[in-house]
Amino acid sequence: MDMLSSMDNMVQEVVAPVIHKMQPASMAPLSCQQEVASLCPKARSQVHCLGQNSGAISDNCRRDVGKSVPFLCSGAIDKYCDILKAGILDCLHQHMGDVAGDCKDAILATSKAITALNTVNAATPVPQALLARPVVASGGGASADRERTLDSKLAGLTTKAPSVVSMIKEAEKQAEDQLAKDADKIESLLSQMSEKMVPKPSAASHLVGHSSHSWILSSANLL
């Protein structure tokens, strides 16, 4: 439970801003669509392009993408990476000694979040509601497939569906409620059985009592 809680906190603080309000057909959140239209209309990686133009984006857009790897590491990506040959994270990991500051922190945090998610997925089946829809990027080939896979994993971290922790708590509550109902039923059945087991005065016993009373009265009259 502690691991799940820590992962949820990390996701909310680090990864959520990356894909907040993400729409399936775009790599950038809805809050950045105006900037995408004016600055990056044909960019293959819209968030990367926004990082290259970080001085010209709105506060709302910056709030949603400001902690993402493509945004913070746009300079390092341009300098060290060929995204047609390798994925962004794979490339940046090979140059961790050459990057620093916010870019390095974002790489480490995103990698840890993905590792934590994969660990939880291996131990607990993820409901269909938690599966992220694939992000369709322009272009094609193996590199595009890698980017879609990464975007799908990141999107899955911040889905608005109930978390695994919430689902477990709800299941425990339902189990407790069911046990309470079963206990009430058992108690009622035992009470009914107990009432049936207590013997009721029979007609013969009543007649014997009545005869004894009559005999006593007759004897008294004779005396």
Q: What is the pLDDT of residues 197-215, one digit of tens each?
A: 655 555 445 554 555 555 4
Query: Using CA of residue 72, residue 153, residue 131, residue 3, what is the dihedral sign?
Result: negative
Domain ranges, ordered by start, for the chain: 2-161, 162-197
pLDDT given for residue 9 in this prediction? 57
pLDDT tens for each residue of 130-151 = 454 444 444 455 656 666 666 6
The pLDDT tens digits for 62-120 are 999 988 888 899 899 889 988 666 688 888 988 998 988 889 999 999 888 888 888 87
Mean pLDDT of the residues in the chain: 70
